[in-house]
Amino acid sequence: MPEKFLKFPDDFLWGAATSSYQIEGACNEGGRGESIWDIFSHIPGRICKGDTGDIACDHYHLYEEDVDNMKKIGLKAYRFSISWPRVIPEGKGKVNEAGLDFYDRLVDKLLEADIEPFVTLYHWDLPQALQDKGGWKNRDIVGYFADYAAVVAHRIGDRVHYWITHNEPWVVSFLGHAFGTHAPGIMDFSIALQVSHHLLLSHGEAVQVLKAIGNEKNNVGITFNLSPLFPASQKEEDIKAAERGDGSLNRWFLDPVFKGAYPSDMWSYYQDDVPQISPGDMSIISRKIDFLGVNYYSRWVVKDDPRNRILKLSFLKPDQAEYTDMDWEVYPQGIYEVLKRVQNDYSPRAIYITENGVAFLDKLDKEAKVKDDQRISYLKEHISFVHKAIEEGIKVKGYFVWSLMDNFEWAYGYSKRFGLIYVDYPTQKRIFKESAYWYKKVIENNGISY
Ligand code: FCB
C-alpha cells in the first residue's frame, strides 16, 4: 500500500513532557523542602530496586543542556511541572525565592529556544509538611494550593500562557490513597474519594487565580488520564463492570469539571464512601476552562469480579495483543476513541494530548545507538489516530510525547524507559534514541507518512 502523508494544522504544537520529581533531582538543594515522594521512595520495598528521585536526571543542574536537546529535536512546546516544595518548602507560608529562580531561568531558556512552556502545577510531589496536616484529605489544602498557584503565576505568569492545574487526579486519589502503590501510600477508599473532591475543588480555585493573574493569552486546563473501557464479554455483569470502571476512571472527573455534578450512578454506587461536599463546591469545580489535557496510554478491558472490594471488577489482558514493558496493551485506536467520546459528551474548547508514549526495553548498542523501532511505530500509530480525530473536527491542538527523556517512573524507579532521549544514569549522559530523530522529522514535516 502506498504511504499517505498525514498533515497536521499549521499551528499544531508538537511537544514532549516531564515532571519535577521524575527528572529534577537536587532534592536537598536550593532550599527545597521535602515532598511525599522523597519520604515514600526511601521506604524499603516501595520502589523497584530501592530507587529514589534524589538525583534522577539531575535536570536541576542540567536544564540548559536539556533545553538545547529540545531545540535539537525541534520541539514547539515543552510540558514540565513545578515542584511545590521547591517553591514553598512547607507547602504554605514562606516562599523560597531560589526555587522560583530556577523555574524563571527555565522559562527564559525555553522562550529563547522558541519553545512554548506548558506548566503543570501539581504532578504529585506534595510538600511533606502538608501531608503531615492530612494532605489532600484535609480541606484546608484547597486554599494552600490556590496560594501556591498565585505565587507561581506572579513570578512566571508574564511569560507562561498554558497552565495545567493537576496531572491525573485519578492516579493521585486511587493509587495514592486507595491502593497505596504511590505516595503517600494510604489504603482507604473513602479517603481516596474525599481526596478526589479536594483535588477538583483546588483545580477550580486555581483556575480563578490563574485567570486573574495571567494575561489575556492565558489558557488554563486540567489533565486527566482517560481510557476507553471494554467489557470482557457480552454478559450483563461484565457490561455493568465496564460501566463502573468508566464511571470511576473517566466520568468521576470529567462530569464535575464539565457538567458540575458527580455521575449519579457512581454516587449511589459508592454509598457511604462518597465525599463530603459543601454548598458551592460544584460551581467552583466547573469554572470554565480553556482546554482539557488528555493522557492516553492504553485501554481497560474488565470483567465483573465480586472478590474485588469496591469496584468489583478485575482486568483482563486480551490475547494476541502487543504489550509494552509496563505490560500495558498497545491499543492505538483508543486515543481516537477517547478524543471522540470527550468531544461528544463534554465538548471542551480545546484538547491537548498532554502525554502519550511507551516504555520498551531500550538498550545502548555497540555503536552507542538506541534502536527503538517499536517506540517509533507506537508513536506513529497513535499520532495517526490523533490525525483522524482532527480530520473529524475534534479540536486537538497539540501532542506531547511522554517523555522527553528516561526518568524516575514512580514505583518502577529507573527500570522503565519512556524517553525519546536515553539517560545513562551513572554519567548523566543524554543519548538521542532513533525515535528522537524520527520525531524531529515529524515536527519538521508537520505530519507523518502513514
Ligand atoms: C502517567 C504519569 C507520568 C508517567 C506516565 C508513564 O500516569 O503522569 O508521570 O509516569 O504515566
Residue 1 has pLDDT above 70, yes or no: no
- Report the C-alpha gap between 46 and 356 in whole angstroms: 25
Task: Give the alpha-carbon dihedral of 342, 262, 295, 392, to 10 degrees.
Answer: 0
Which cell numbers hold the place of 230? Answer: 471494554
Confidence of residue 219 (pLDDT cuts 50, 70, 90): very high
Single-letter code of the amino acid located at 209: V
Residue 309 confidence (pLDDT): 85
Phi first, then psi, for residue 391 (nearest 5°) are: -60, -30
Within 294-359, residue ranges assigned H as helices are 333-346
Which cell numbers hold the place of 208? Answer: 480563578
Q: What is the pLDDT of residues 304-362, one digit of tens each?
A: 999 998 999 999 999 999 999 999 999 999 999 999 999 999 999 999 999 999 999 99
Q: Is the CB of 18 under 6 A from ligand 1?
A: no
Residue 2 confidence (pLDDT): 64
Q: Is the CB of 17 under 6 A from ligand 1?
A: no
Q: Tell me whether residue 444 is one of the annotated catalytic residues.
A: no
Is the distance from CB of 398 to CB of 12 less than 8 angstroms?
yes
Instruction: Ligand 1 pocket test: pick from 164, 173, 409, 414 the residue with the most ligand atoms within 8 Å of its Cβ.
Output: 409
Residue 216 confidence (pLDDT): 77
- Report the C-alpha gap between 320 and 290 in whole angstroms: 40
Ligand 1 centroid to residue 215 C-alpha, Å: 30
Residue 93 confidence (pLDDT): 98
Residue 112 confidence (pLDDT): 98
Q: What is the mean pLDDT of residues 48-70?
A: 98
Q: What is the mean pLDDT of residues 19-42?
A: 98
Confidence of residue 217 (pLDDT cuts 50, 70, 90): confident
Q: What is the mean pLDDT of residues 34-54?
A: 98
CA of 409, closest atom in ligand 1: 10
Q: Is the CB of 410 under 6 A from ligand 1?
A: yes
Q: Tell me whether residue 64 is one of the annotated catalytic residues.
A: no
Ligand 1 centroid to residue 413 C-alpha, Å: 12
- Report the C-alpha gap between 23 and 407 in whole angstroms: 6
Q: What is the pLDDT of residues 369-402, one digit of tens each?
A: 999 999 999 999 999 999 999 999 999 999 999 9
Q: What is the mean pLDDT of residues 136-147?
A: 98
